[in-house]
Chain A
């Protein structure tokens, strides 16, 4: 079959809502788009462990510490599901990690912000994981089978993350004046970056065209962002937090919230490497990856020793 026929076949499958599986013929651009998106998603899960890991030793109770450890372990697991999905597209784990280290592959911008107080751990779980869930629920119907299955598994686990974060915020809003202030401060710092997680407005989104045609993406950035805002504002009100947006207003006609303009200059600044923690995040990953090399070598040497003729 020639390329046009293959692409035609492929598109027909997509149009019939069939999943694409690893050994199926697919356009190179589809494969590249998926590698970029899935690996970015995997790297985000892994880099996302850093701001939270920073608080394990300072968690305010044993209960909080256990929960935080379990959550961070989940993030590592989510990274692994996604790396596995990416590897089915004929790219090795080594290459994926090398792309992260060289800066060729990105991760979610949100993790370039620091977790300054314990309330930030609440805000990350509630807002950042909350925003991620909205995006990931829609990706459960993405056209690439391994990616969709990874999303399905991740979504099942993610709601614990959001609820534990919201619980932290609710606790603090029940506390002393200082604790309330701390929670509101975290809200103020994480609200806008959380909205940016959905990416640019659809009208300015450079990679969307094919992503919709190939059903990698099922819903637009703005629709998902709106969904997140509409369900989160009520949760903020219940515990007495103020959404830091003077333009936020319920629109009775459209039955959703109107919200203020997002600071895209900041978004672009952070995405191009000049956020508060970009260098720290990558350097940390490189350092521990390299320091772990001896473990991988030892494991290989051991496998040779116990099974010299192994595969």
Chain B
């Protein structure tokens, strides 16, 4: 059967030290082809210093529908933010 090959997700690091950020996807039959296709598709103008490719079927994602339930526990823990604390008048560099 004719096929358009497997789907891979592409993550690009724009410069060394930065995070790899999702750029899109490509079709490829193996990892090497996926890397080369990702380079040709997403870094024609020096957008990258490193590329990750991952077979799309292995990406596990949370769903927007459950986002509230999933992320809500962080909402009431405002003491995790530095702005929660009251600093004594006059204290510097803190």
Contact = CB atoms under 8 A, between A and B. Distances in A.
Nearest to B22: A149
B92 interface: no
A299 B24 contact: no
B5 interface: yes
Contacts of A306: 30
A145 to B, nearest CB: 10
A299 B33 contact: yes
A62 interface: no
Most A CB contacts (10 A, CB to CB) among B3, B29, B64 go to: B29
Contacts of A24: 63-65
Interface in A13-28: 21, 23-25
A311 B57 contact: yes
A77 interface: yes
B20 interface: no
B29 A73 contact: no
Interface stretch (A79-87, A221-229, A264-272): A79-87
Contacts of B57: 311
Given A94-B3, A97-B4, A296-B3, A87 B25 contact: yes
Given A84-B24, A87-B7, A93-B4, A77 B65 contact: no
A66 interface: no
A80 B26 contact: yes
Interface string B29-61: 110010000001110110000000001011001
B87 to A, nearest CB: 36
Contacts of B45: 157
Nearest to A92: B4
B44 A293 contact: no
A196 B25 CA distance: 32
B4 A94 contact: yes
Interface string A273-311: 000000000000000000001001101101100110011
Contacts of B76: none
A119 interface: no
A92 B25 CA distance: 13
Interface string A146-187: 000110010001000000000000000000000000000000
A81 B43 CA distance: 12
A74 interface: yes
Interface in A52-101: 70, 73-74, 77, 80-81, 84-85, 87, 92-94, 97
Most A CB contacts (10 A, CB to CB) among B33, B41, B44, B63 go to: B41
A296 B63 contact: no
Contact of B63 (A23, A74, A303): A23
Nearest to B30: A303
23 contacts: A23-B61, A23-B63, A23-B64, A24-B63, A77-B40, A77-B41, A81-B41, A85-B24, A94-B3, A97-B4, A296-B2, A296-B3, A296-B5, A297-B2, A299-B28, A300-B3, A300-B5, A300-B29, A302-B30, A303-B29, A306-B30, A307-B30, A311-B58
Interface of A: 21, 23-25, 70, 73-74, 77, 80-81, 84-85, 87, 92-94, 97, 149-150, 153, 157, 293, 296-297, 299-300, 302-303, 306-307, 310-311
Given A93-B27, A296-B29, A299-B5, 13 more contacts: A23-B65, A25-B65, A73-B40, A77-B42, A84-B24, A150-B24, A293-B2, A296-B4, A297-B2, A300-B29, A302-B30, A310-B30, A311-B55
